[in-house]
Structure 1
Amino acid sequence: MTTVQVRQSDPVADERRRWKALAVCLTAGFMTLLDTSIVIVALPSMERGLHAATADLSWVVSGYALTYGLVLVPAGRLGDLRGRRETFITGVALFTLASAACGLAPTGTWLVVFRLLQGMAGGLIAPQGSGLIQQMFKGAERARAFAAFGSVVAVSTAVGPLAGGLLIEASGSWRWVFYVNLPIGAAVIIAALRLLPRHAPRRDPREGFDVPGVLLLGAGALALMLPLVQEQAWSGRGKWALVPLAVLLLATFWAWEGRQLRRRRGPLLDLRLFRVRAFRLGALLSLAYFAGFTSVLFVYTLFLQITMGYSALAAGTAAMPFAVGSALAALAGGRLVGRYGRGLVVRGLSCVALGLVGVIVSVQLVPGRYVGWAAALPLLVAGIGSGLTVAPNTTLTLARVPVRRAGAAGGVLQTGQRIGSAAGIAAVGAVYFARLANHGRASGALQLGFLTSLLFILAALTLAVADMRDGSGTG
């Protein structure tokens, strides 16, 4: 008699594989988010090397953020429908090729074109990460995975200027801020092919890719984000006429998606997600928070370089306490969110607000070149608060989202973050430059800019407190 042996799954090996797969996703996410800020310190070198116009330099930064944000929701839906592993690998390959093209760009115009493509590829990658976390992890493990994800989000934005300064100083060329992605991208593709789980989504045969929904959402998001990302580059108030157009297009998108849902045609965005209070409120909280925290780093590094005469490397180093605090606290936040729920986010946002007040006081007390040292401790406190906010809020926001919609839901969440970042930088930048132009006192301009950022943080805190009062406190 022949004995048939059935191979049993090894739980320990499966767990190790999941965490290795998570590391692949986080590495790609770090690479794409780092590129939102790493180029800032390279702009003067680009201007000299390419004889680039000011408008081109503006688009090198804002164009990436724009196309990144436009692609997120459609990319999340594409991953849900066609497979997150395949979409992820395609995105990383395109991002790596676009990075090489950026490094080889012969003129400012070509650099802008390649940056737009790079942003689209980054937007293709981002929602697959949150979708794969939903797919691979459950319960406490999922909270830990999102903690690591939140740490990457916070740290990658904060260390961008420092990483850019180090690369330029070591290589003597701005092109290496793009070339550094080539070995990373190649390694991620190889590891993804081996480690990421295959997934054949089960879907209704009537479901397809909602092309009208993509066009309506894309046009609406473009009309909303364009005046925000170009606030400094486009003079005059005419650009704000795009905002009512954006509202009209997004309202039409909402009506179209409701129609698709009623006809069971597979909408780009399942509007039933917004019936989940944790998702609805968490997405709004994330938008408000990113408007505050991203603008803090933007105006602070600008102040240190332009006014205080810090080098790119020194300015990046001065922002490091925020990044360190974020990284350490985000890992702890993943373990604590199950116990404290939304209360942990309230504590985190309170720390961020306290840290910002500390920086404002530090600038007042130490107005000279030692301001970077004086603001280090308050920035560390704010960073700890950020780590206790981003990862736990992501976990709570996506906890009750069905796995088959995880990619699209992650895309919505990150689109809100990108819109929040653009709006915050536009608002705080406008306040900072207006104060500087009218009064000429840079420390006062920085303080007013930080107060504006603080208003966004307090708006996020209000939402978190409201959720605790109206719900169970667990999101």
Structure 2
Amino acid sequence: MTSAPTSDPARADEAQPDRSRWRALAVVMAAGAMTLLDVSIVNVALPTLREGLQADDSDVQWIVAGYALAFGIVLVPMGRLGDARSRRAVFMAGVALFTLASAAAGLAPNPTTISVARVVQGIGGGIITPQVSGFIQNLFQGRDRAKAFSIFGATIGLSTAAGPLLGGLLVQLGGPDFGWRLVFYVNVPIGIAVVLLARRLLPASAPTKRGQSLDPVGVLLFAAAVLLVLWPLVEGSQGTPLSSRPWWLLGVAAVLGIAFVLWERSWGGRGKETLINLRLLKVPAYVFGLSLGTFYFAGFTAIFLVVTLYLQVGLGYSALEAGLTTTPFAVAGAIAALLSGRLVERFGRWLAVFGLVTVSVGLLAIDLLVPHLSGMVGLKLAPAFLVAGFGGGFVITPNVTLTLAEVDPAEAGSGGGMLQTAQRVGSAIGVAVILAQFFSTLGSTRGDYAEALSVSLRTTIAAVVVALLFALADLLRRNRKEHHPEPQHAAEEAVPRHAA
């Protein structure tokens, strides 16, 4: 049965036959899973990649941080581009770009080529991700929409869990010379299949918002400022003293940051949509949640990298063994994320507080155990990773829900995009800081990987504790608000929020 023609693209999408909608969801989920897998798969391939291309410490940092940075910066403008153009066309372009960049990374003859390819991959991932949530919003309503988002959440958890194992298997299958290339090549057939299926199964809807502002000047200023923050952190190796790095670039980054804020105010004053919605920075719940997410991602993203380097390079573990060691974190996190979705209405910010405390306990246990372990180290660390992962599952999903709870529904899309951008940029900066510290400690301790891991974990724990302070501050604010409610006229204008 074919749906009746309509001029309303949103209604046209809702009228899609049920089977067609779920097939379309499967297509966009496959693309979303591909971008997520690429992060965790690459982690276990880094040691063999580093050896195969003779890459130095700086190259390794750019390969990881460049992807996260590019991903985060293009999320918001590409989400708007999907609204302003055919979402299907933008989605297919993102998948095609990601696929081509994956092939280029697999063929890379030197570290510079693969670093550039990773940045292009990040741009492709940043184009794909907002289209996934956009298709879910357009194709589903009511319970079906909640079910679709639940599937999306499960896909994120499964992709994160499967990444280290799949990466380890591919590296083992291809060997030290070709295995890391397989990690990138595996995206090529998936990407080609997704593009072909998208052409056939995704609705060719008309633009939902014409004349969208992409804020190109804001994007360039923001990207340049963050890049200059990363540069002195990434440009160095074990033999390079921290004092010799170009720290003066941080001053230039600060100037660009001020220019970015002034531009956003000017651009917004003309009635244009800005990269960062400055109005949302006046919503306390949003500011606390944004800060929490940024620091949490700055901390936990680098955990898997430094642990992988410790296990594979320091202890001689295979990529598969290293992947198995960190899998409990991802599995426990996926289970906890499903539970947290049901509990957030009841416990609110307490979930994030519990989660962040649990993550800190798990990481502290790893830090205390590492210097005293010998033989079957990965197996002995697995329980601590299980604890940390379980805590992590109670952080991310509830934080998104509570951060957007007091935001005007009309600005929820902008708020969600900003939140993802902050998380990705936090990841890029956190990876740069923690890896720089890891490699610097290796240089000063003559290759003591256990000590380098411990120092890095302490920095990670510090970032998680800062996120915990923001969670506690928001919890106190919410409790104070409940005990001292706003006047009736103000309460009537407020957007309903979740309980603390």
> Deviation per CA, 1:108-128, whole angstroms, max 9, x where unpaired?
443333333222212222233
Match of 2:229 among 204, 210, 224: 224
Over 3 Å counting, the alpha-carbon distance change for 1:340 and 1:53 in structure 2 is closer
- SS of the residue 1:239 aligns to: coil
> Which of 165-174 and 18-27 deviates more?
18-27
Which residue of structure 2 aligns with residue 370 of structure 1? Answer: 376
CA offsets 1:360-415 (integer angstroms, 9 cap, x no match): 33335x41132222221121111111112112222333455567655543432222
Question: What is the aligned residue count?
Answer: 469
User: Is 1:338 aligned to 2:345, yes or no?
Assistant: yes
User: Percent identity among equivalent residues?
Assistant: 47
1:317 partnered with 2:354: no
- 1:412 correspondence with 2:412: no
CA distance in 2 between partners of 1:415 and 1:84 (Å): 20
Question: d(CA) in 2 for partners of 1:26 and 1:177?
Answer: 19
Q: How does 1:115-264 map to 2 (within 5 A)?
A: 115-133=118-136, 135=138, 149=152, 152-153=155-156, 156-157=159-160, 159-172=162-175, 173=178, 174-193=180-199, 196=202, 200-203=206-209, 208-230=213-235, 232=237, 236-237=242-243, 238-264=245-271
Question: Equivalent of 2:396, from 382, 385, 390?
Answer: 390
Contact 1:219-1:246 within 8 A present in 2 as well: yes
1:212, distance to aligned residue in structure 2 (A): 2.2
- Match for residue 327 of structure 1? 334
Query: Which residue of 1 is the match for residue 365 of structure 2?
Result: 358
Aligned residue in 2 for 1:453: 460
Contact persistence 1:151–1:326 (CA under 8 A): no
Aligned-pair CA distance for 1:423: 2.8
- Aligned counterpart for 1:347 among listed residues 328, 335, 354: 354
TM, length-normalised to structure 2: 0.81
User: Over aligned residue pairs, what C-alpha RMSD do you find?
Assistant: 3.6
Q: Say which of 282, 289, 295 aligns to 1:275.
A: 282
Match of 1:426 in 2: 432
Secondary structure of 2:274's partner?
Answer: coil
SS at match of 2:79: helix
**Alignment partner of 2:82 out of 67, 79, 94:** 79
Tell me how far apart the structure 1 counterparts of residues 414 and 91 of structure 2 sit (CA, whole Å): 14
Unaligned runs of 5+ in 2: 483-497
Q: Which amino acid aligns with 2:381?
A: A
Distance 1:94 1:57 in 2: 22
Distance, in Å, in 2 between the alignment partners of 1:265 and 1:356 is: 44
Residues 135 and 12 of structure 1: CA distance in aligned 2, closer, same or farther (over 3 Å): closer
1:90 partnered with 2:96: no
1:42 corresponds to 2:45: yes
Q: Residue 165 of structure 1 contacts residue 316 of structure 1 at CA under 8 Å; is this kept in 2?
A: yes
Measure how far apart 1:157 and its partner are.
Answer: 5.0
Verify: 1:464 aligned to 2:471, yes or no: yes
| Equivalent position amino acid for 2:374 in 1 | G
Asked if structure 2 preserves the Cα contact closer than 8 Å seen for 1:133 and 1:142, the reply is: yes
Structure 1: 5+ residue stretches without partners: none
Alpha-carbon distance in structure 1 between the residues aligned to 2:135 and 2:254: 32
After TM superposition, give the deviation of residue 288 of structure 1 in Å. 0.8
Match of 1:298 in 2: 305
